[in-house]
Amino acid sequence: MRVVNAANLKWQGNKAHIRGGGGLRLKRLLQGREGTPENYLFNLAHSGGDYSTPRHRHNFDQIRFVLDGDMRISPNQVVKQGQIGYFPEGTAYGPYDDAGKARTIMIVQFGGASGQGYISEDQAARARAALLKDGSFEDGMYVRKAGARTKRTDAFRAVWEHCTGRRLELPRPRYEKPVIVDPKSFDWRPAGRKGVERKTLGIFTERETRLEMVRLQPGAEWTSPAERAVRLFFVVDGAGTCNGKKIGRHGGAESGAGERATFKASRETTLFCLVMPLIGDAALRRAA
């Protein structure tokens, strides 16, 4: 069980920096174990308004919870403040441009049901440094010159293929476009404990990745069930303890497979929960 408080972390630059805009700042809350199917990256991210990407897709899943400002993810799709965007592996989105508008989000990137996993930030940074010897990263693309010819490759594809030594085979899109979830449109339901309410926001793909929220009144206590899953918790608002450790607004916590997390609220607290069943289990279901 790991617990981290955002207030104790400093904003830092983006190590990988393969997309457009240099103003992206990050607070790195938690990350999984590099080289495993369950690897993930759990961050707070703030853009001063100059971040951009071309239209693209990738071989991992992504959750973005917009905390401040709005986020336009394509010409016809906007994730508004307070909403959550689910970006499935294989599904294209963009072009994306902050267009001078600042915003802050909570973001989790993690391996999807295809089982291709997620390369770590350190792996991506090392690959970027190596690729810069033969080319440059421009507007979300990797540009390499060979004599009079110029080859342009999606920046993530170039980094992933350098890391793995394999050609990137993108999963077939399970969803036509990213899914935008508005938590305010879901009703709270009693959770079986006094002062505790829950709402399920969605269950996605054969991996059965789950988005949930839990609300605790002051003094209330809630314990998550033990599952064969990695579970991430994000304090949207409020404060209290998690397994006896203090946790505040925008703090994060992780419970591994078979672990439970017990939250006790010192004031009204709202948690966002991301449940990621083990990739191996999804693979076994596919093979059955």
Cα gap 208→7, rounded to integer Å:
32
pLDDT of residue 284: 45
Check: CB of residue 152 under 8 Å from CB of residue 142.
yes
Helix (H, G, I), strand (E, B) or coil at 196: strand
Q: What domains appear along the chain, each with residue ranges and CATH number?
A: 187-287 (2.60.120.10)
Nearest to 61 by CA among 41, 76, 46: 41
pLDDT of residue 50: 86
Helix (H) or strand (E) holding 155: helix 155-164
Vertex 36 angle, CA 30 and 37, to 5°: 95
pLDDT of residue 52: 84
Cα gap 99→104, rounded to integer Å:
14
pLDDT of residue 281: 61
Helix (H) or strand (E) holding 161: helix 155-164
Quick one: tokens of 275?
């449940």
Segments of the chain scoring below 70 in pLDDT: 20-23, 281-288
Could you report the per-residue pLDDT of 200-236, keeping only the tens digit for each? 999 999 999 999 999 999 999 999 999 999 999 999 9
Cα gap 49→102, rounded to integer Å:
4
